[in-house]
Amino acid sequence: MGVVKSKRRVLVILGAGASIEYGIPATQKFTDIIETAILGDRWVQNQKGDEAYRTIKRRLKRYLHDPGIVHFEQIYHCAHELIHFSKPSKGIVDEYRPILVPFLRDTSKTTKEGLRALVKKVVEVIYNEVIARCATPAHSVASFGEFLTALEVTSIPRIYTTNYDDFALQAKPDLYTGYDRKGAKETIFDIEGFWQRWNEPSLFFLHGSVHMSYSHQLGQGRFADLVWFDDANEARKSATFNGSGLRKMDGTEVLRSPIVTGLEKLSRLQQRPLPYFYAALTRDMMEADIIYVIGAGLGDLHLNMLLAEARSRPDPAPMLFVDWWDGGFDLDMETPDRKSIEMLHALRINIGGDAPAPTRVDDWLVSADGTSAIWSGGFQAFLRETNQHALVRVALRTRKP
């Protein structure tokens, strides 16, 4: 954990776009898969979870400006929050009384049982779909492994992913994940060794993984902690939690889930080991000598805030933003979308709009200040074009030791 570094540090942030080309469905396709599963499940129907789904989707379509776009994270969030509109039991202490109940009224006619069934089914489908796609990647992970191995030659790669899949781990199986995976059926978080392994190539799952779930061994001091299963099918067996939720200060609670989804993610990060991952990410942001942001939609504002802090330094680490834009990145930005706005303001990628004209390094756009670059051809093309990657690294300004 010392300040002196023998190698430079590389921070890699992986978002959903890093996994789509391997076969993980995009958000809207995932929504269709989840909807089919919910509406066709007899147990969910028995609990009236299908009615809750239809009601939430119908109301969102009427309410949102773009009625054709209602995705599963919006539906999941609404279902979870509606659970707390029920009046608390008589005599329950104030700390467990949802504080907004006297001010709001739920007219949806959904039931708590239906909403819980809906939320539970969403998590189940995510596990099923991701595990199936991980078993048969649409592309070989070999080039991903070569990219990570090349980083290790001259630096310490620290990889943080918001994805649930294990493609990065398939590409580089020896990455430290916060768990000492030594063949045990389930492995507890390495609470003693986590900070001692600060200078090791690592991969941390910020929103959980299909390999993380709740212990099968009751009474072993693992209650409600997320343990690791090398076999994701074992993790799937305990992916739903029937005990108490994570308490919130407004009297509500967060239903425990080993994967973090929905629109309100911060309250879900109380489960060990997720707070450790975020503490390490905060430090890695500030110590990084170069930052890769790959396939990130920039919809997670808590991550954008950390990236903004790293980029606001007088001598920021250069950033390579890797993603896919149909027709290339829009330099004019006459009608910037939310992602482009976050790129400009939070990540301080001064390319496009009123920024000075960027330079081109083959297919890369490099900002005039030399602190950022954009690749718009997708993750797999980035992995293939190793020569272009090497050239843009040279073109970027090096952070001072």
Alpha helices in 185-251 (DSSP H): 232-237
Which of 68, 102, 136 is the last residue in one of the domains? Answer: 136
Percent of the chain whose predicted confidence (pLDDT) is above 90: 72
With H, G, I as helix, E, B as strand and everything else as coil, classify residue 295: coil
Residue 295 structural domain: 8-24+138-216+273-395
Number of domains present in the structure of the chain: 2
Q: What confidence tier does 48 reach under pLDDT thresholds 50, 70, 90? A: very high
What is the arrangement of strands in the sheet containing 359-361, beginning at the earlier edge strand?
202-205, 155-161, 8-14, 290-294, 319-322, 372-375, 364-366, 359-361
**Residues 160, 90 share a domain:** no
Highest mean pLDDT among 92-96, 97-101, 149-153: 149-153
Q: Label residue 196 exposed, middle or buried (CB < 10 Å: 0-12, 13-18, 19+).
A: exposed
Which of 113, 136, 159 is the last residue in one of the domains? Answer: 136
User: In this structure, what CATH number is given to the domain that contains residue 209?
Assistant: 3.40.50.1220
pLDDT for the residue 4: 45
Distances (CA, A) of 255 to 47, 73, 77, 81, 165: 17, 15, 11, 10, 22
Structural tokens at position 73 = 């994270």
Structural tokens at position 378 = 């997708």
pLDDT of residue 248 exceeding 70, the answer is yes
**Residues 96, 15 share a domain:** no
pLDDT of residue 152 exceeding 50, the answer is yes
With H, G, I as helix, E, B as strand and everything else as coil, classify residue 359: strand
Mean pLDDT of 199-209: 97
Q: What confidence tier does 220 reach under pLDDT thresholds 50, 70, 90? A: low
Mean pLDDT of 158-162: 98
pLDDT of residue 271 exceeding 90, the answer is no
CB of 186 within 8 A of CB of 234?
Answer: yes
Answer yes or no: is 241 within a domain: no
- Residues 316 and 319: their CA atoms lie apart, in Å, by 9
Residue with tokens 């709001």: 104
pLDDT for the residue 1: 45
Burial call 300-321: b when 16+ CB within 10 Å, e when fewer = beebbebbbebbeeeebbbbbb
Chain mean pLDDT for the chain: 91
Q: What confidence tier does 3 reach under pLDDT thresholds 50, 70, 90? A: very low
Q: Which residues pair with 156 in a beta bridge?
A: 9
Residue 221's contacts (CB-CB under 8 Å, 6 or more residues apart) are none
Burial call 76-85: b when 16+ CB within 10 Å, e when fewer = bbbbbbbbbb
Answer yes or no: is 263 within a domain: no
pLDDT single digits (tens) 101-143: 888 888 899 999 999 999 999 999 999 999 999 999 999 999 9
**Residues 322, 212 share a domain:** yes
Q: What confidence tier does 175 reach under pLDDT thresholds 50, 70, 90? A: very high
With H, G, I as helix, E, B as strand and everything else as coil, classify residue 322: strand
Q: Worst-scoring range by mean pLDDT, 240-244, 359-363, 365-369, 389-393? A: 240-244
Which of 110, 136, 162 is the last residue in one of the domains? Answer: 136
Strands 212-214 and 226-228: antiparallel
